[in-house]
Structure 1
């Protein structure tokens, strides 16, 4: 991998641009993301539990 001064400066400029464009989520946005993530975790847990119960019933 060839690291030179120009590539490092270019990378830092790109990082600065991303940080400039990004914003901190407000309370409503944070709560919505938290709810959706929680629901996803619960769904995955329920599916795993159902698969586990079916496997036990089949005598695996």
Structure 2
């Protein structure tokens, strides 16, 4: 696990997808929000494996 952020947001997405399948309206709404928010945050915080984050051009 090189990036704990993408793992965390992947887990949030998975939990959201699971919650969105319930019959309870409140849990379903929370699940739908998490299922949308997780991939958005994962996309924001994801980085390529070979990029170190420095200022030097690749």
TM-score of the superposition, structure 1-length normalised? 0.38
Q: Larger Rg: 1 or 2?
A: 1
Per chain length, whose mean CA-contact separation is higher, i.e. which structure has more relative contact order (CA < 8 Å, sep 6+)? 2
TM-score of the superposition, structure 2-length normalised? 0.39
Of Structure 1 and Structure 2, the greater helix share is in 1
